[in-house]
Amino acid sequence: MNKKINNILLGGMFLGVVGVAGYAIVVIWYLIFTPEILKESVAYLAPRFPIIIHAIFGSVALLTGMLQLLPKFREKFPQANIVLRKMYYASVITSGTFGLYVALYAQ
């Protein structure tokens, strides 16, 4: 594949991942820190806890997974790549577990 097309595809992937992860973070911020919610936070957040955890760890998985696909990043920072890989695995397992719980008990 031509290098210019590869860079365009990586840039598009980066924008997509940052957009989806950013959207999840904004939704989580709204779910947790809306003034009406803070008044009755425990009663409101308890049933929403699994989806919040799923979204947080899903965002981490998206961002760390994206960095794993960048060859220059892997070559320049091999130790960071190892740490990001472990973070990716942990966040995928956590997000997947809570995502399965949310899917099974959705109302």
pLDDT tens-digit readout, 22-70: 887 777 777 677 666 666 666 666 677 888 888 889 988 988 888 888 8
**Which pTM was predicted?**
0.71
pLDDT for the residue 37: 62
The CA-based dihedral angle spanning residues 79, 83, 28, 38, taken in that order and rounded to the nearest 10 degrees? -110
Distance CA 45, CA 47 (A): 6
For 45-54, write each residue's pLDDT tens digit.
667 788 888 8
Give the list of residues 6+ apart from residue 73 with CB closer than 8 angstroms, or none.
67, 80, 81
